[in-house]
Amino acid sequence: MAIWSRHKVFSLAKGYYKRSNNCFRIAIRRVFKALQYEYRDRRIRRRQVRTNWIQNINAGVKEHGLMYSRFIYGLNRSNIHLDRKILADLCKNEPYSFKAVVDEIKIQHNFTFPIQKRQPIMNYDEAIELQLLKYGKYVPKTEIDREYKFASATPGTKDEDDWFGYALIELLFTSY
C-alpha cells in the first residue's frame, strides 16, 4: 500500500459514496476491490459477447429450419471459414447472405429434416381418454417385465397379480 500515493487513490476513488471517496483507509480498500472487479469483468464481457453471438446465430438458423449444433457441425466440416462474430453480423444485417451460407451447409451435409417440436404437455385425464394409461393393476406385456416381478409373489395365487408387493406391505404394517 505504500507505493500508492494518496493523490492516486483519491483520483481513482472519485465518485464513490460516503467516506469511500475522501477517507484514505476506506478509499484504498474500495479502489483495490474495484480494480479486482474490473480485471474479472473484462473477461466476463468477452464471454457475454460470444454468448450473444451464439444466440443471434441460433435464432437465424432456426428460421431456416436447422439447429445451431447441426449448423456449426456443418460449418466446421465445410470449406466456409466464418467465425461466430461474422455470422451473427450476417444474420442481423445481411439475411440473404446468411441464408446462402445456411443453404450451402444444408446442401453439403444433407440436413433436410425439420426441427422437431416438443409435444404439448398432457394431463392424466387426457392420457386415459387417449388410452395411453389404464385404470387398474399393471399387466406385464413382455418377458422382461415378468422377470422384474416382485420377488415375494408366488405363482398360482392372488399374489401373482400383486406387481408392487402390496400384500407384503399390508402384512408388514398390520402385524404390529
- In the block, residue with C-alpha cell 453471438: 53
Predicted confidence (pLDDT) at residue 152 exceeds the cutoff of 60: no
Contact at 8 Å (CB) between 39 and 66?
no
Residues 108 and 130 in one domain: no
Instruction: Look up residue 97 and give its amino acid.
Output: S
Predicted confidence (pLDDT) at residue 60 exceeds the cutoff of 50: yes
Predicted confidence (pLDDT) at residue 171 exceeds the cutoff of 70: no
Using the 8-state DSSP alphabet, how is residue 46 labeled? Answer: H
Q: Give pLDDT, residue 81.
A: 87
Residues 103 and 159 in one domain: no
Nearest CA to 72 out of 60, 84, 62 is that of 84
pLDDT band at 49 (very low <50, low <70, confident <90, very high): very high
**Listed residues 64, 96, 115: the one ending a domain:** 115
In total, how many domains does the chain have?
2
pTM of the model: 0.52
- Quickly count: other Cβ atoms within 10 Å of residue 48's Cβ: 11
pLDDT band at 61 (very low <50, low <70, confident <90, very high): very high
Q: Give pLDDT, residue 80.
A: 85
**Higher pLDDT among residues 150 and 34, named by residue:** 34
How confident is the model over 18-27, as a mean pLDDT?
A: 81
Q: Give pLDDT, residue 176.
A: 46
Residues 148 and 167 in one domain: yes
- 3-class DSSP assignment, residue 154: coil
